[in-house]
Amino acid sequence: MPSTIRPTVTVLLAACLLMAALATTATAQPQGHIRDRLDVGYFYGTFDQEPNIGVLVGGRAEEFCLDNPADPFNAEPGSAPLRVFPNDDGSVVLKVNDTGQPIHLYHQHDVVGPEWIAQVCADFFAGAPAPEPLASGTALLKVRLGIDGDIVDVFNSVNGTASGPDGTVYKVRAWADLVVVDGVPQGDPTDFVGTEITEIRR
């Protein structure tokens, strides 16, 4: 299933731990926020197309394999500057606005999302070469996580371009916009995950 859900839930847990650790320093920040780093590993994908195209943000497929061999779908091989905004009511907002994030496009034929990266990594660790991306490039990554108790308002997106070995250039826009309650995403992924990949020149 094309999705950025599971990495997002992992980020939320890390954010809660981060806030507990840094709460005493929040008032000392003149900008009103805490600066840190966010580990990055997002998956986006097209739905029911042939071929399906997956977008990996933060690293190539093999970097996801090496970062978390036991669960590469939850790998986070990349990194981005993070701003944490604690509120007086105990809620917190996490924001990322980072240019130059690596993106890689892959054909995904029979399986997509978690099943695709699991198969890729199994083959990779068995000695097979990692698949070559259809195209690679960079994008603007935006992340906003609003955490208020057990309710989390999640938004993340990438907007950039990727070039293939044959010179084809693709415009890539992908996003997820959802609410997570008690760790469970609300709604259907087809309603809150979107991916647009457009060939702009060859």
Average pLDDT over every residue of 38-66:
89
In the predicted model, what is the mean pLDDT of residues 132-154? 94
Query: What is the extent of the structural domain holding 184?
Result: 5-201
Write the burial class of residue 37 (CB in 10 Å: 0-12 exposed, 13-18 middle, 19+ buried). exposed
Question: Residue 47: what pLDDT?
Answer: 67
- The number of domains in the chain is 1
Q: Which of 151, 172, 179, 150 is nearest to 53 (CA)?
A: 172
pLDDT of residue 39: 92
- Threshold 0.95, pTM exceeds: no
Say what the pLDDT of residue 165 is: 93
Residue type present at position 59: G
